[in-house]
A and B are shown apart, each in its own frame.
Chain A
Amino acid sequence: MESMTQNERILALLARQPIDCVPFVHKGYSFCATNTGVAKADIFEFPERSYKAQAWTMEQYGAEVAPFYTFVSYGAWEFGGEIAWPEDRWSSGPSVAKRPVQTLDDVQSLALPEVETAGCLPRMMEFAHLQERNNSQIAFIYGSPFTFGANLCGVENFLEWSAGEPETVHHVMRLVTDHLKQVADWFIGEFGAERVLPRIASPTDGLISPRMYERLVLPYRLELHQHVLDRGVKHIYDHICGEQNRNLPLLAQLPWGDPGILSFGDEVNLLDAAQVFPNEIICGNIKPDLVVTGDPDEIYDACRENIEVGKQIKSGFIFMGGCDIPATVPPYHIHLMSKASKEFGRYS
């Protein structure tokens, strides 16, 4: 039997106090739309529908961590490009219809956008007010700057420039970093530092070498982390997406708050991650394609193994998908994640 409410459990975990069982987050953002009969585009376009779809799905599966707003192609729209809302049955989120940067010369014309009106930001603020009214954690998008730089320049361009035109990449990283600091200031100013959670996801960061990461990414990440922590933010969340084992020692140099919350792709061993980040809450990391396409018995067993490994982590553990679980996941498979977390997640 659970002896804590979801809210009590998360607050205790963040306060480094004992909890009764492992918290569970399904990590199926657009699944919340299909699960509740909402169009996939709506979960990105209409904050209230998005909040409700997430809250209802959380309630259905006993999942924890409050509804949040995310935007997978962040950077392109905010810096003057165009996006397309997801319409077909395969897409999970908005895609970039027109990038603000096509060539090296375009980079020099980039300017800092107005945070209150750019791209998805007004929607993210509207969503944050819903979080405030519902007394839940107020999250805002805070990177990674390298992934957002790639979104606005095109991943191929940005990776090629990382090797051949590093000054251009520094120029973009400077702009994106300054933009994200303005976003943070806006949210902290509106709600207070103690109420907000900067959320980072870094899928493109794993495509470059640690040497390049150290030169092109780490200084900007350090600046961003320090900026919000200096302003009084307590925790930073990062989904360290994909194969980033080699970047972990570099990421360990960053301050994450007290504690930080780090989720990992299934490519990273959770106990290895816990050794590198001994003071942070570790989240993860059931293989998403297994959850989508696997046999139910196989999924259930994999969840059990994942939870049993995670429970060994002394600094705290949240059971979740290793990446976003797409909308096409059979709902029964999400039920299996929830069931496994209840059956095997109890701390003795």
Chain B
Amino acid sequence: MNNLLTDICNAIIAGDEDLAAAKIRESLDQGIDPETILNDGMVSAMAEVGRLFENGEYFVPEMMIAARAMQNGLGLLKPHLVQANVQPAGLVVAGTVQGDLHDIGKNLVCLMLEGAGFEIIDLGRNVRPEQFVEAVEQHSPDIVALSALLTTTMSNMQTTIGALTASGLRGKVKVIVGGAPVTQEFADSIGADGYGPDASRAVTLANSLVSPATS
């Protein structure tokens, strides 16, 4: 791999936002294809960050600064990706369900998904079921990602899935769920398409849902 791409990758893994940005600019100046920078320099970095998190070598702070470096780098790269007509890995509508004001888990999942090449529409926190329905109608995402931290609010994941079903949209979108009290068993019981126990595995899950044949 090109040394610059390795540098970008290492800078993101280390959460060095300034260095990552400098190396991305340098790569663009040298005429490296933006899609190559994205995939070989940045997406691969976040895959490594995910691996380090799953192995217990990285914790939430390290993951967050890496994801911020990635996000900042993406901001620089985006105009070039648009110009080159590079398509995102998929479109995700994400939000913390109604009644729940916690968003750190959801934000981390959004950052990691963005780092994996997904386009994100973040509806924020305390999102009503009808807001998710409106967003699905408006944006036709591949995936709806629902987050809840509280036992009291996780039932609103089921209400949201019910609202998607009632509006005839459920069959058109995959629904994934996650958050501290959520389990695979709960996800199955409410008819979700998948459960992500953490931000890293949410990315693996999302990839498997948008490209089932290759995952």
Task: Please determine whether chains A and B interact with each other in the same assembly.
Answer: yes
For B99, list chain A residues within 8 Å (CB).
Answer: 88-91
B187 to chain A, nearest CB (A): 13
For B152, list chain A residues within 8 Å (CB).
Answer: 90-92, 292, 326-328
A105 contacts partner chain B, Cβ-Cβ < 8 Å: no
* Chain B interface helix/strand/loop/mixed: loop
Do A95 and B101 touch across chains, with their CB atoms under 8 A apart? Answer: yes
**Total residue contacts A-B, CB cutoff 8 A:** 63
A85 to chain B, nearest CB (A): 13
Do B61 and A163 touch across chains, with their CB atoms under 8 A apart? Answer: yes
A36 contacts partner chain B, Cβ-Cβ < 8 Å: no
Do A207 and B151 touch across chains, with their CB atoms under 8 A apart? Answer: no
A130 contacts partner chain B, Cβ-Cβ < 8 Å: no
Q: Which of A160-199 contact B (CB under 8 A)?
A: 160, 162-164
B65 contacts partner chain A, Cβ-Cβ < 8 Å: yes
The answer for the CA separation of A89 and B150 in the assembled complex, in Å, is 12
Do B181 and A156 touch across chains, with their CB atoms under 8 A apart? Answer: no
For B65, list chain A residues within 8 Å (CB).
Answer: 160, 163-164
* Residue in A89, A90, A162, A288 whose beta carbon sits within 8 Å of that of B61 in the complex: A162
Residue-wise interface mask of B (24-46) relative to A, using a CB-CB cutoff of 8 A (1 in contact, 0 not)? 00000000000000000000000
The answer for the CA separation of A156 and B64 in the assembled complex, in Å, is 8
- How many interface residues does A have (CB within 8 Å)? 26
Do B104 and A163 touch across chains, with their CB atoms under 8 A apart? Answer: no
A101 to chain B, nearest CB (A): 16
* Residue in B59, B154, B180 whose beta carbon sits within 8 Å of that of A209 in the complex: B59
Do B150 and A326 touch across chains, with their CB atoms under 8 A apart? Answer: yes
Do A207 and B98 touch across chains, with their CB atoms under 8 A apart? Answer: no
The answer for the CA separation of A92 and B68 in the assembled complex, in Å, is 31
* Residue in B60, B100, B153 whose beta carbon sits within 8 Å of that of A208 in the complex: B60
Do B107 and A293 touch across chains, with their CB atoms under 8 A apart? Answer: no
The answer for the CA separation of A88 and B100 in the assembled complex, in Å, is 10
A76 contacts partner chain B, Cβ-Cβ < 8 Å: no
For B56, list chain A residues within 8 Å (CB).
Answer: 246
B62 contacts partner chain A, Cβ-Cβ < 8 Å: yes
For A302, list chain B residues within 8 Å (CB).
Answer: none
B15 contacts partner chain A, Cβ-Cβ < 8 Å: yes
A155 contacts partner chain B, Cβ-Cβ < 8 Å: yes
Do A212 and B15 touch across chains, with their CB atoms under 8 A apart? Answer: no
Do A91 and B101 touch across chains, with their CB atoms under 8 A apart? Answer: yes
Q: Which residue of A lies closest to B101 (CB)?
A: A95
For B107, list chain A residues within 8 Å (CB).
Answer: 156
For B59, list chain A residues within 8 Å (CB).
Answer: 207-209, 212
A302 to chain B, nearest CB (A): 14
Q: Which of A69-95 contact B (CB under 8 A)?
A: 88-92, 95
Q: Which residue of A lies closest to B153 (CB)?
A: A90
Interface centre among A90, A156, A207, A289 (most CB of B within 10 A): A90
The answer for the CA separation of A293 and B61 in the assembled complex, in Å, is 32
* Residue in A88, A159, A162, A289 whose beta carbon sits within 8 Å of that of B181 in the complex: A289
For B98, list chain A residues within 8 Å (CB).
Answer: 90
Q: Which of B99-113 contact A (CB under 8 A)?
A: 99-101, 104, 107
The answer for the CA separation of A155 and B107 in the assembled complex, in Å, is 11
Do B151 and A160 touch across chains, with their CB atoms under 8 A apart? Answer: no
The answer for the CA separation of A301 and B104 in the assembled complex, in Å, is 34
A167 to chain B, nearest CB (A): 15
* Residue in B58, B68, B100, B101 whose beta carbon sits within 8 Å of that of A160 in the complex: B68
Asked, given contacts A90-B100, A163-B15, whether A292 binds B151 with beta carbons under 8 Å apart, the answer is yes
Do B151 and A164 touch across chains, with their CB atoms under 8 A apart? Answer: no
For B180, list chain A residues within 8 Å (CB).
Answer: 242
A169 to chain B, nearest CB (A): 10
The answer for the CA separation of A92 and B102 in the assembled complex, in Å, is 12
Q: Which of A295-348 contact B (CB under 8 A)?
A: 326-328
The answer for the CA separation of A292 and B152 in the assembled complex, in Å, is 8
Do B15 and A164 touch across chains, with their CB atoms under 8 A apart? Answer: yes
Residue-wise interface mask of A (96-135) relative to B, using a CB-CB cutoff of 8 A (1 in contact, 0 not)? 0000000000000000000000000000000000000000
The answer for the CA separation of A95 and B153 in the assembled complex, in Å, is 15
Q: Which residue of B lies closest to A216 (CB)?
A: B61
Q: Which of A138-156 contact B (CB under 8 A)?
A: 155-156
The answer for the CA separation of A246 and B56 in the assembled complex, in Å, is 10
New A-B contacts (9) at CB < 8 Å, excluding given A90-B98, A212-B59: A90-B150, A91-B152, A155-B104, A156-B107, A160-B61, A163-B62, A164-B65, A207-B61, A209-B61
6 contacts between A and B (CB under 8 A): A89-B99, A155-B104, A156-B107, A207-B60, A208-B60, A246-B56
